[in-house]
Chain A
Amino acid sequence: MGRLRKLLIPGVDKKLLVRDAVKTMPELTRRRFITAGTSLGALTLLTGCDVVDSSSAEELLKRVSKFNDAVQAWMFNPDALAPTYPESMITKPFPFNAYYDLDDAPEVAGADWKLEVRGLVDNKKSWTLDELYKLPQVKQVTRHICVEGWSAIGSWTGTPLRDFLKIIGADTRAKYVWFQCADKDGYNSPLDMRTALHPQTQMTFKFGDEILPRAYGFPMKIRVPTKLGFKNPKYVLSMEVTNDYKGGYWEDQGYNSFSGS
């Protein structure tokens, strides 16, 4: 142990080191992922190229995923609108979807809730729900597409995020708007600025003309019809305008960060 300790780089924060180590420890899904990678290794041996053992396969996949981020950013047309649908096509009931049951969904008290605004913005004042409700709102009927493959059409009403970013004097040359949510695991997700400024990206307060129910993210959801569903944060507590890539709940587990639709 003593020798091991000496091998550690001096000046490294042990707590941070342990936290990083825990992150790289195989959790179940990760382990399965690696197992699958190993069997691919066997496959590539058969075909005669030894590109991969499991860990370098994972490294390679992450690199390709970054490349895919770049390709999707390049494909992203800020003027292309997601298709809208007639109200008759709204999916009923619109599915509740999360990594927890509806009973475990955050219960936010609207009266006490305040939207915190941080980072590269002129005005960092917090916003109450009443103040937000007074902002001009628009309605959109768009398709929510889940990373799992299913989709559902919903009716969303709220303030375009780009209008709000203007009001708070956000530096729109920054790379991301990063959202933090009230979910028990501290769900968070980064949104690239060009998507944040897309005309259909919305701070949503209503679903189907009713105050946003708890199932869909009361008091505020960020509706992004040009992204997959997991990049539509619910129960939003704060937003931060930032140049740092801070990762996200699902992004850190391997979902492609751009995940544009």
Chain B
Amino acid sequence: MTSLAVSDHQAETATPAKVIQPVWVRMVHWINAFAMILMIMSGWQIYNASPLFGFTFSRSITLGGWLGGALLWHFAAMWLLMVNGLVYLTLGFATGRFRKKLLPITPGGVISDTKAALTFKLSHDDLSKYNSVQKLLYTGIIIVGVVIVLSGLSIWKPVQLHWLVTLFGGYDFARYVHFTCMALIVAFLVIHVALALLVPKSLRAMIIGR
């Protein structure tokens, strides 16, 4: 029904279908998805070499085969992740996309939209507008992305970047920060993918833009 409404609207205004996701957003999104998966799977293998908690990740979901291989993957994919992330942040600020799409976030909006979402009453018809929950999650995950890169750099180069390690409360603590960010990203990923599959239009928009 909603798609009918959209096309009616288009017929009235006689403009081509609005591009919801510009090309650059779609490109950085999928490059990021690819880099993230490499980082997460190789990261789990690295974690297994010296687990922080009482569990290890199953070999079937890790990448690299052994610590040395995983490190090669991790330190290769990190360039993709970092360069892509910088492009995203730069364009996100420069084009005003972050400001337009993600702000403002109000506590009231978040509460009412969360209630709506939990009772399945949250409308997602206009894909070009994010609801408050989306705004909060997308903003949050960008911040987590920045923190995971910075904490990663600090445990990669704890001597050269000792000020960064200090910022994270020391080498050992930085490892926990890095791990926590990974867990948040994985949690986000699960919800994000589930919702994208529930709202097929959104997946379509992320692939062909409309």
Contact = CB atoms under 8 A, between A and B. Distances in A.
A76 B79 CA distance: 18
Contacts, number: 98
A260 interface: yes
Contacts of B171: 143, 145, 151
Given A149-B46, A149-B175, A80 B71 contact: no
A76 to B, nearest CB: 7
Contacts of B209: none
A47 B6 CA distance: 30
A245 to B, nearest CB: 18
Given A29-B69, A33-B66, A36-B64, 13 more contacts: A34-B65, A39-B63, A65-B75, A80-B159, A83-B162, A149-B46, A150-B50, A225-B159, A250-B68, A253-B68, A255-B68, A256-B71, A256-B72
The residue among A36, A83, A145, A150 with the most chain B CB atoms within 10 A of its own CB is A36
A146 interface: yes
A35 B37 CA distance: 17
Interface of A: 29-36, 39-40, 43-44, 47, 60-62, 64-65, 68, 72, 75-77, 80-83, 143, 145-151, 225-226, 250, 253-256, 260-261
B69 A32 contact: yes
Nearest to A250: B68
B125 interface: no
Contacts of A151: 171-172
Contacts of B63: 36, 39-40
Contacts of B157: 72, 75, 260-261
Chain B contact surface mostly? helix
B72 A47 contact: no
A80 B34 CA distance: 35
B65 A29 contact: yes
Contact of B71 (A43, A47, A83, A255): A255
B93 interface: no
B159 A83 contact: yes
Contacts of A148: 49-50, 67
Nearest to B46: A149
Contact of B72 (A30, A31, A65, A76): A65
Nearest to A32: B65
4 tightest A-B contacts by CB? Answer: A32-B65, A254-B68, A33-B65, A148-B49
Contacts of A226: 159
B145 interface: no
A253 B9 CA distance: 62
A76 B160 CA distance: 7
Contact of B66 (A32, A72, A149, A260): A32
A146 B175 CA distance: 13
Contacts of B38: 40
B47 interface: yes
